[in-house]
Chains A and B, each alone.
Chain A
């Protein structure tokens, strides 16, 4: 329910190229109607009030993952958040945590992409590439379903308490992406490929406190992936010790 005809928006402003001016909250009063999203308000502020406000957006329909931010303390996509969703008529917007801010709500995503590329986010095959597609049964597709839904918005990355203290941690999104391929019936990566995440900055760093699951706007459960990867690593280790490396795993 809408709480008032005009809402107060407090937005954390900062310009990394002008650090002297320091982070500060800018306040805007905006008339609202039912159905209005936080992203629509941000666009209005930039258009009509303050052209210097910086934030990312693209699809406005929760599929591109550009507009992740902290909205009244909760990490979510601005596009799919209704202004009426809160028990207050004040909405506070802050950039995603665990990233360097470039300007206002825009963060530098470089570390996120670095981790994503590190885990080899693509099908790895040993068999020759077939002429046609590789079929997958419905059950096989279902195994990877939740991880396929990841839109790389980095909401989980921002919510992760491990990343707050260990910036080199692989993070929930990259782990979920790796598990998506490990579970894929068509993927043939060897067990050793999991060594990328088999250390104190990899899957063993996770506190399993499920903040990533809370933050995900697409109902992905990165913790499931991390637990799954831990099991796969142990299984591979066990097989190595017994001298039975099964490359089909």
Chain B
């Protein structure tokens, strides 16, 4: 609905859209953004796009995790491009996990189910939420319900299925009439994507990555510290969500901050004209991408991007997921470093550049590894539990030491360097959520 309306308004305003262009790199030199280099996937040519203003609305990084409610294209490559080019990222360790995603595809089974009265049931036939949050039961916040479900699964009270371990989201007691009237979408998804009718059978669900709270570090005007580079939506981190987004608040990012970004860009372009971007850095970057694509297409490169993607996703979901510990995070870091090494040997089957999705996947994979690296490092450093970031070895929130943002920048050795930034306090003093 939003997507359609946005597109329709763009058509109304005569906005030129390049539906088949894929951005491969962002160009930043000496604190100024010069534009992007794009691959025209229809004819295979690389195009440097010089721009005074570049705005990224490239979405979250859900696909860095194996189990994610995000679209397949939500690789976070936009965030990775900004980071690789030198823009800082903020609070990357804050990753939201949604409690109820369909096994196999991890399509979101929305809060509406539990809102209408659905039960969460383990393999003992027990509504297990009564042991954790008897006051709120299934209606407890996302991060808490996710941890409860994960605990049930980890302690052997889940169900097994070739598509994954899970618990049941049971709608049956609501009756056919209510399900058809109030949750028709949920029923259609269950039937189309798993062949299960929630009127007669419980829905197998598991927690899955859902939202990227962290992202490109921008202020309330969606401006990054790089002149001419702006970001909005899930790829950005204004920090309106802190460590834990509330349901529905992603609309705040898309609608409110979309408009604020437009106003800020308008202001910056008219009031104090931005310097003219330079062609040379862009052409240099184009040559770099050209060389990268040529390397990927060389024969005899045995590694495949999909294998790296699969291992990265599994590691992130298992070791950087709902529950985190130093030991597992360190293991994840070692795996990641190994995967980065293996990435250097990645090759694609064909040197053809048009509609070559294997090539696009390989290009995006490099950025996904960078994004994952910043998430893992942030999660290791943050020795506390806050919002969606839950450390089993540091179970409580520690405002004394950790009421601050983590900032990840690409270091001279190519690894992320993490620094800290004060939290801007406005009307409300943050306090711990209590039950």
Contact = CB atoms under 8 A, between A and B. Distances in A.
Interface stretch (B192-200, B260-268, B278-286, B424-432): B192-200
Contacts of A73: none
A76 B306 CA distance: 26
Nearest to A108: B42
B189 interface: yes
A48 interface: yes
A122 B11 contact: yes
**Chain A, interface SS category:** loop
Given A35-B104, A52-B352, A54-B355, A64 B11 contact: no
B349 interface: yes
Contact of A61 (B73, B189, B306): B189
5 A-B pairs closest in CB distance: A51-B349, A47-B306, A122-B12, A51-B358, A103-B355
Given A52-B349, A58-B73, A121-B8, A46 B105 contact: no
Interface string A114-130: 00110011110000000
A134 interface: no
A68 to B, nearest CB: 15
A66 B12 CA distance: 23
Among B72, B352, B354, find the residue whose CB has the most chain A CB atoms closer than 10 A: B72
A17 B354 contact: yes
B412 interface: no
Given A35-B195, A52-B350, A52-B352, A148 B358 contact: no
Interface of A: 17, 33-37, 40, 43, 46-48, 50-52, 54-55, 57-62, 64, 79-82, 84, 102-104, 106, 108-109, 113, 116-117, 120-123, 148, 150-152
Interface string B347-365: 0111010111110000000
B4 A37 contact: no
A62 B192 contact: yes
Contacts of B42: 102, 108
Contacts of A46: 357-358
A131 to B, nearest CB: 14
Contacts of B357: 46, 54-55
A33 B163 contact: yes
Do most interface residues of chain B lie in helix, strand or loop, or is the interface mixed? loop
B387 to A, nearest CB: 26
Contacts of B348: 51
Given A35-B103, A60-B71, A103-B354, 5 more contacts: A51-B304, A51-B350, A59-B73, A61-B189, A84-B195
B168 to A, nearest CB: 15
Contacts of A36: 104
A51 B73 CA distance: 17
Contact of B195 (A51, A57, A82, A120): A82
B308 to A, nearest CB: 11
A59 B72 contact: yes
Contacts of B1: 148
Interface string B5-18: 00011011000000
Contacts, number: 93
B19 interface: yes
Nearest to A15: B352
B186 to A, nearest CB: 12
Given A59-B71, A61-B193, A62-B192, A47 B304 contact: yes
B107 A61 contact: yes
A82 B192 contact: yes
5 contacts: A33-B162, A35-B103, A52-B356, A108-B42, A152-B4
A149 to B, nearest CB: 9
B193 A48 contact: no
Contacts of B163: 33, 35
Contacts of A116: 11
Contacts of A82: 192-193, 195
A61 B72 CA distance: 10
Contacts of A58: 71-73
Nearest to A80: B192
Nearest to B10: A122
A51 B4 CA distance: 32
Contacts of A121: 8, 11
A43 B19 CA distance: 22
A36 B164 CA distance: 13
A102 B9 contact: no
A37 B192 CA distance: 9
A109 B355 CA distance: 13
Contacts of A117: 11
A95 B264 CA distance: 44
Contacts of B194: 35
B262 to A, nearest CB: 16
A102 B355 contact: yes
B19 A109 contact: yes
A102 B354 contact: yes
Interface in B294-309: 304, 306
Contacts of B103: 35
